[in-house]
Amino acid sequence: MNKKTKLIMFLTFILFLFSGVHYLAMADDHKEKKWYQKKADHDDDHSHKDKHRKRKRERNTDDEHHENNLRQVNNPVYKEECGACHYVYQPELLPSASWAKILESLDDHFGDAVELGNDEKKAILDYLMTHSAEKSSSKRAIKIMRSLGNQVPLRITDIDYIRKKHHEISSDVLKRKSIGSLSNCSACHTTAESGIYDDDDVRIPQ
């Protein structure tokens, strides 16, 4: 071997060594990066999931709230005519068959006579029929329908589900001047007019 060949071999060896070390370093670097990345990704994933879960939780309670609530009465004719003597019941509290029966018998409405013009009567019937319990997706209305079966009550307070929810209230309490009867929903349900009947919002007046 002459000097030239030795030098080339030596240089080749150095180059080989260098590239090998370089390769290993790169691989290590790569691995490390990956590890960091993974950790970062994981953290990201975690916080993302947490955020998602939190958002979902918020949305759920919101939904639950909405799902339970009834739609606020927004028909002015119904409000005026049917709110003259008592609390204005949301149409979702009774099935359409009940509303039809009530409007057919207004000359003897629980002992009172309710007089209505034909136009008003039609407007009210339309409103009640389109928003009745069986057409509602509210959990409250679904429970009412489930509790009714084939019954067509004239009173919300005759629905089993409603009666059961109030069976602990004594008749003495209901007879209080500030209440009158169980039909007076808004006497105890402070948010009744907004369609919210959660037990958290009940205050029984003295």
- Provide the binding-site residues for ligand HEC, judged by CB under 6 A: 81-82, 84-86, 89, 93, 102, 109-110, 112, 114, 124, 140, 155-157, 162, 165-166, 169, 173-174, 179, 181-185, 187-189, 197-199, 202, 204
Is the CB of 37 or the CB of 186 nearer to ligand HEC? 186
In the chain the first and final C-alpha atoms are separated, in Å, by: 116
Distance in Å, CB of 111 to ligand HEC, minimum: 6
Nearer to ligand HEC, 142 or 174 (CB): 174
Instruction: Identify whether the C-beta of residue 61 lies closer than 8 Å to the C-beta of residue 132.
Output: no
Q: Minimum CB separation from ligand HEC for residue 156, in Å?
A: 3
Nearer to ligand HEC, 5 or 170 (CB): 170
Give the integer Cα–Cα distance in Å for 177 and 191.
Answer: 20
Closest by CA position to 179, among listed 190, 171, 187: 187
Measure the CA–CA gap between 103 and 109, rounded to whole angstroms.
9
Shortest CB 56 distance to ligand HEC, Å: 23
Measured from the CB atom, is 6 or 176 closer to ligand HEC? 176
C-alpha to C-alpha distance for 92 and 140, rounded to whole angstroms: 8
| CB 33, min distance to ligand HEC, A | 55
99 burial (CB, 10 Å; 0-12 / 13-18 / 19+) is: buried
